[in-house]
Structure 1
Amino acid sequence: MAGKILANLIVMGTGILGRAFFQAYRQALANASKTGAAQEAMQNAVRKGAKAINEAEARQILGVTEKTSWEEILQKYDKLFENNAKAGSFYLQSKVHRAKECLEVVYRGKTNGTPN
């Protein structure tokens, strides 16, 4: 009998506590929406995630200079990309790819078309 009462108290207490947390969470979301804190946090997350590299960093990653031709850049890219694929470094592979994308935009701007 005492065990049944104790079990009922635990179940009821858990339900009450759960509803209280849910209401507090809902209220916190409403407050964040009113102040714009949620939107600001989302914008900061997007900015950090979409952090682009600049041309100098891209050239440094690929080991090329401003005078390097697009064909040489592609050769360096292919070599570095494949080496990092074999070594299993997705992070470095990603950096190499982003560097090529950055330089592709630069070369496309210079030639007003495709970099090839």
Structure 2
Amino acid sequence: MAKYIVQIVVLGAQIVGKAFTKAIKQEYAASQEAARRAGGGRAGAAHAAANARAGISLEEAKQILNVKGMTPEEVEKRYEYLFGINDKTKGGSFYLQSKIFRAKERLDKELSIKKEKT
């Protein structure tokens, strides 16, 4: 009887160990991919810091405001339109307004970083 209990415990530990190892490998691969997309080095660090401060990634901000190119005029135009139609007095959503504001804030930060480089 004790032999079977030991076998069950050992088998369970092996399963948990394999799952843990697989999860760590996946996390490592995801972090490497994120670093590669961020550009690495100082530019990648600045990009990651801006994402952390705004709480939103550059790609997500572009999707929220639906901008392709990142000109200040286009960002401002889309922000004004989307923020206006989501006004609470017009039946809009404060949550959506806050997402739109954070998206503009993130894009403005990216535009200022690009402006500093030139």
Q: TM-score, normalised by structure 2?
A: 0.49
Q: How does 1:10-29 map to 2 (within 5 A)?
A: none
- Size of the aligned set, in residue pairs, is 63
5+ residue gaps, structure 1:
1-49
User: Which of 97, 103, 109 is the aligned partner of 2:113?
Assistant: 109
**Runs of 4+ with >6 A deviation:** none
Larger radius of gyration: 1
C-alpha displacement of 1:105: 0.4
1:72 Cα shift?
1.0
Percent identity between the two aligned chains? 44
Q: 1:53 aligns with which of 52, 56, 80?
A: 56
* Ranges in structure 2 where 5+ consecutive residues have no aligned partner: 1-52
State the distance in 2 between where 1:51 and 1:110 align.
17
Contact in 1 for aligned 2:86/2:93 (Cα 8 Å)? yes
> SS of the counterpart of 1:105?
helix
